């Protein structure tokens, strides 16, 4: 690769400088080594010669494009507000209430008691002499007995209590202001970034084929035409 590059550079230098004048009309110089030779002894070979060219390529860049959009923002407005200063009074009021109560007393109760006697046989006076018998149907005794017990008496009592009551009195009124948020919408101009393609001229180096005349010794180093 390095050897090929040396040959190309030598050939380019030979083309750039003025060719050596031939000793006669039938003689010419080798473009590679510069040796004088007859024209019929020189052969055509193709070499690649670097040349500077200007090309147009597309490049990208970021530009700012103006546009409009809606923007929502918040403002605070002052709103009047009335504040009252009050004073609270407390006083006692009479209230009548009723409460049921139960009273238990100890006392003696009369409990009715019934006593029954079974029937029995007895001899009557008339039957004594005659041997007669009289049968009685029995007897029932109604009486009562004393029992100690408790009695419950229900009643209601009325009493008076003191109940607290509250009243409010307006002492003063103060007018103040408070900030209230309000949303609004407006149209603003903004710069929006945008990618844009544009043509640009650049200088590049390209290899172009060129035909030269060289001797048979140098011809082996170059491809044929």
Q: Which helix (H) or strand (E) holds 127?
A: helix 125-130
Q: Which residue's structure tokens are 């605070």?
A: 76
* pLDDT tens digits for range 79-102: 998 888 888 989 999 999 998 888
Biggest CA pair distance of the chain: 220
225 — pLDDT class (breaks 50, 70, 90) = low
Domain ranges of the chain: 2-58+201-219
Q: What is the pTM of this model?
A: 0.31
Q: How high is the pLDDT of residue 6?
A: 47
Segment holding 24, helix H or strand E: none
Distance of CA 98 to the CA centre of its chain: 62
Q: What tens digit of pLDDT does each residue of 101-126 get?
A: 888 877 777 777 766 666 655 555 54
Q: Output the CA–CA distances (angstroms, integers) from residue 32 to 35, 144, 219, in the order listed.
A: 8, 169, 9
- pLDDT computed for residue 213 by the predictor: 83
Is residue 62's pLDDT more than 50?
yes
pLDDT digits (tens, 9 = 90+) for 5-60: 545 455 555 554 444 444 445 567 787 777 777 777 788 888 888 999 999 999 99
């Amino acid at each position: 690769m390095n050897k090929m590059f040396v040959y190309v550079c030598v050939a380019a230098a030979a083309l750039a400088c003025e060719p050596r004048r031939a000793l006669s009309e039938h003689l010419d110089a080798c473009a590679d080594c510069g040796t004088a030779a007859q024209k019929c002894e020189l052969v055509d070979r193709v070499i690649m010669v670097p040349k500077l060219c200007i090309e147009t390529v597309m490049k990208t860049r970021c530009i700012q494009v103006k546009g409009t959009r809606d923007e929502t923002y918040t403002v605070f407005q002052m709103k009047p507000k009335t504040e009252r200063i009050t004073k609270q009074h407390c006083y006692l009021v009479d209230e009548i209430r009723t409460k049921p109560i139960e009273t238990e007393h100890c006392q003696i109760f009369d409990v009715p008691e019934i006593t029954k006697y079974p029937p029995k046989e007895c001899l009557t006076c008339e039957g004594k002499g005659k041997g007669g018998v009289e049968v009685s149907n029995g007897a029932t005794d109604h009486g009562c007995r004393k029992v100690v017990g408790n009695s419950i008496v229900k009643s209601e009592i009325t009493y008076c209590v003191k109940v607290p009551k509250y009243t409010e009195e307006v002492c003063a009124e103060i007018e103040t202001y408070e900030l209230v948020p309000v949303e609004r919408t407006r149209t603003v101009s903004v710069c929006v970034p945008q990618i844009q393609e544009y043509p640009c001229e650049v200088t590049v180096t390209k290899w172009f084929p060129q035909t030269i005349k060289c001797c048979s010794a140098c011809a082996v180093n170059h491809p044929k035409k």
